[in-house]
Chain A
Amino acid sequence: MTAYLVQVFTLILIYIIVAASLNLAIGFTGLLSLGHVALFGIGAYTSAILTKDVGVPFMPAFFMAGLLSSLSRLFLTVVTQKLRGDYFAFVTLGFNFLVVALAQNWISLTRGSLGIPGIPRPVIFGLTIKSGGPFLLLTTVVTIGSLFFLYRLTRSRYGRLLEAVRDDSVGASALGKDVYRLKYQCFVVSAFFTGLAGSLFAHFIQFIDPTSFYLSDIIIVLTIVITGGLASLTGSILGGFIILAIPEILRFLPITPEAVGPLRQMIYSVILILILLFRPRGILGKVDID
């Protein structure tokens, strides 16, 4: 039972990093970015390939995961620079399909649908981080570090400027603020932490394939962000625990294992609809969903 709880808790923390990063992108720019699961996947594949196939130690691979994820987001930001609203959301959603298609078809690099098994456990300063308690500790440290950075960013003058850009980019431009550069930076920082989370995920599960980063994962992360509330990091933490812990109860109910997955998706969707209908700001949200 303890091992099970440690596993669940580790996954919750990994998803909290992704949700908090996504919240930075959505809550502080006002643009519905749906490409985060692809960035998560890029981080996971980068770290997995570098450590398993290239023999790069975990720490450089971990940071490379963040870096490559950021670079991918930079590319996506350049492409979507002039887009807003639904168009922006659609293109970022399309980015997921592109990355999944690459993962499926670039077989020499990713092994396609076979996936990458046997991703090594992280080794830090000669210590192998085994599953269970040690991996939970590593994930906790990365989560706290990521959240601390995001907290400092969002509570600073820079964070308030991002809020200004989100609320009225024309007004911010008139004050001499380069709104494009600010959005670029915001998305790149957000992608970096998402990439780190992807690396943790790959080394935790030790197997990844293109199905690990499907559309259903966007729904999970988006539900966490919206349930917790936009522009609230505390909301993303709370949302992570609520959204990922509640469906775990299903495991203890007398239902077939095949039904657990679809039922979980249904629960996420119902929570998302209820929140949007009755509490559009989420639990701790600071801004309305326009």
Chain B
Amino acid sequence: MLKVENITKSFGGVQAIRGSNFVVEKNKVTALIGPNGAGKTTLFDIIAGFVEPDMGRVLLNGDDVTQLLPHERADRGMSRTFQHARLFRYLTILDHLMMATDNADTKLWQNIWRRERVHCDEYDAILEQFGIKRTLDTPVSDLSYGQRKLLQIAMALRRGHQLLMLDEPVAGVNKVIQEKIEQLLLDLKARGETVLLIDHDMNFVRRLSDRVICLDAGMVVAAGTPNEVLSDPKVMEAYLGK
């Protein structure tokens, strides 16, 4: 599904990614782990098109998407979330879900002369499914941190996608929401979704992932099943030091 080939990226004198290679298999959950500063989010941003690599290629279903802009990659089926939910502070939950549904909102003339009928039941069902106990007209600025994360995942799923990229989906949320998100992701896994996620919670990663890739100092140091990777001495070393 996704192939990352020899990606390199430097910021000034700091080499954030050093020739990383890995694949994300279709219908599998792949976790990208590594200590702080390992380059996980930079790599995520490169894959999604928000950061341009110095070298290397990103292939989606065999197509080179390295030169595509983020919105073009999203249209090709890359749907992502961010570590800190990027929502639009003056808009409501409904606005967000509608925005994630399609690109009809980008058509200037169509939107001026036509009014679209909104099927609120459909959107209410999403809130129900994600356990967001708020009404659709709630401004997102009124949501808790956890609810913002849930909404962001709901939006990422709402978009037509082939690859779901989740950046620390459970970081910073309370236990109840963490369990909710985990259950949602397990359901996605059972449905055969292709997921690439970043997380620091090793138990969470172990329960959810089919494959784990460990990154340290911008390089892939281990890849394999959760048990293989999490017991690899190089991974221990990356987290604990020599």
Inter-chain contact A171/B108, CB cutoff 8 Å: no
- Bound-state CA distance A168–B87 (Å) is 7
Nearest Cβ distance between residue B71 and chain A, in whole angstroms? 5
Inter-chain contact A157/B116, CB cutoff 8 Å: yes
- Bound-state CA distance A258–B90 (Å) is 46
A175 within 8 A of B: yes
A182 within 8 A of B: yes
Inter-chain contact A174/B48, CB cutoff 8 Å: yes
Chain A neighbourhood of B90, CB < 8 A:
163, 167, 231, 286-287
Could you give, for residues 162-190 of chain A, a 1 whenever the CB lies within 8 Å of some chain B CB and a 0 otherwise? 01100110111111111101100100010
Chain B neighbourhood of A164, CB < 8 A:
88, 91, 95, 99
Chain B neighbourhood of A173, CB < 8 A:
49-50, 69-71, 74
- Bound-state CA distance A160–B93 (Å) is 12
Chain B residue at minimal CB-CB distance from A188: B108
Nearest Cβ distance between residue B44 and chain A, in whole angstroms? 11
- Bound-state CA distance A160–B111 (Å) is 11
- Bound-state CA distance A19–B90 (Å) is 22
Q: Which residue, B79, B107, B108, B116, has most C-beta atoms of chain A within 10 A?
A: B108
Nearest Cβ distance between residue B51 and chain A, in whole angstroms? 11
Chain A neighbourhood of B126, CB < 8 A:
none
Inter-chain contact B112/A149, CB cutoff 8 Å: yes
Known contacts A173-B69, A173-B70, A178-B71, A158 near B106 by CB under 8 Å: yes
B191 within 8 A of A: no
The chain A residues found within 8 Å of chain B, CB to CB, are: 149, 152-153, 156-161, 163-164, 167-168, 170-179, 181-182, 185, 189, 231, 286-287
List CB contacts (< 8 Å) of B101-127 with chain A. 103-108, 111-113, 115-116
Chain B neighbourhood of A231, CB < 8 A:
90
* 5 shortest interchain CB distances as A-B pairs: A171-B86, A176-B74, A158-B111, A157-B105, A156-B111
Chain A neighbourhood of B82, CB < 8 A:
170-171, 174
- Bound-state CA distance A178–B71 (Å) is 6
- Bound-state CA distance A185–B102 (Å) is 19
Chain B residue at minimal CB-CB distance from A150: B112
Inter-chain contact A167/B106, CB cutoff 8 Å: no
Nearest Cβ distance between residue B119 and chain A, in whole angstroms? 14
Given contact pairs A161-B106, A175-B159, enumerate 8 new A-B contacts (beta carbons under 8 Å): A149-B112, A156-B111, A157-B104, A157-B105, A160-B105, A161-B99, A164-B99, A168-B87
- Bound-state CA distance A110–B69 (Å) is 43
- Bound-state CA distance A156–B95 (Å) is 11
Known contacts A163-B90, A171-B82, A178 near B112 by CB under 8 Å: no
B211 within 8 A of A: no
- Kindly identify which residue among B74, B108, B115, B116 contacts A153, using a CB–CB cutoff of 8 Å: B108
Known contacts A173-B50, A174-B80, A286-B90, A158 near B74 by CB under 8 Å: no
- Bound-state CA distance A170–B88 (Å) is 11
- Kindly identify which residue among A160, A174, A176, A177 contacts B91, using a CB–CB cutoff of 8 Å: A160
Inter-chain contact B71/A158, CB cutoff 8 Å: no
Chain A neighbourhood of B106, CB < 8 A:
158, 161, 177-178, 181-182
Chain B neighbourhood of A189, CB < 8 A:
108
- Bound-state CA distance A179–B118 (Å) is 24
- Bound-state CA distance A31–B88 (Å) is 16
Could you give, for residues 57-100 of chain B, a 1 whenever the CB lies within 8 Å of some chain A CB and a 0 otherwise? 00000000000011100110001101000111111000100111
B43 within 8 A of A: no
B155 within 8 A of A: yes
Inter-chain contact A153/B86, CB cutoff 8 Å: no
Chain A residue at minimal CB-CB distance from B48: A174
- Kindly identify which residue among B75, B89, B108 contacts A176, using a CB–CB cutoff of 8 Å: B75
Q: Which residue, A153, A170, A175, A286, has most C-beta atoms of chain B within 10 A?
A: A175
Nearest Cβ distance between residue A21 and chain B, in whole angstroms? 15
List CB contacts (< 8 Å) of B16-49 with chain A. 48-49
Inter-chain contact B111/A177, CB cutoff 8 Å: no
Known contacts A173-B69, A174-B80, A175-B155, A160 near B99 by CB under 8 Å: yes
Nearest Cβ distance between residue B173 and chain A, in whole angstroms? 19
Chain B neighbourhood of A170, CB < 8 A:
50, 70, 82, 86
Task: Enumerate 24 A-B pairs (CB-CB under 8 Å) in ascending A order.
Answer: A149-B112, A153-B112, A157-B105, A157-B116, A158-B105, A158-B108, A160-B91, A160-B99, A160-B105, A163-B88, A164-B88, A164-B91, A167-B91, A170-B70, A171-B82, A174-B50, A174-B70, A174-B74, A174-B80, A175-B74, A176-B74, A177-B103, A179-B71, A182-B106
